[in-house]
Amino acid sequence: MNVRLFQCSCNYHLRFGASSCSYCFKPTPIWNRYGFTIGMVAVLAVVLALVFSA
C-alpha cells in the first residue's frame, strides 16, 4: 500500500502506517499509524452500536 495522507515536519510525505519518517527518521504523528486508525474505527463502531441499540 502506498497511501500518503500526511506530511512530516520536514515536508516529506509520510507513508501511511510508518512509525517514523523515512527521510529524517523523526517519529511520525500518532494519526499516521495503523494502530491509531484501527482504534478510531473500533471506537466509532462501539459508539454506533450504542446509538442504534438505544
Tell me the closest approach of the beta carbon of residue 16 to Zn ion, in angstroms. 14
Among 3, 4, 5, 10, contact with Zn ion (rule: CB under 5 A)? 10
Among 6, 12, 15, 16, binds Zn ion (CB under 5 A): 12
Contact status: 21 vs Zn ion (CB under 5 A):
yes
Output the CA–CA distances (angstroms, integers) from residue 16 to 39, 45, 48, in the order listed: 15, 22, 26
Q: Is residue 32 within the footprint of Zn ion (CB under 5 A)?
A: no
Q: Does 23 bind Zn ion (CB under 5 A)?
A: yes
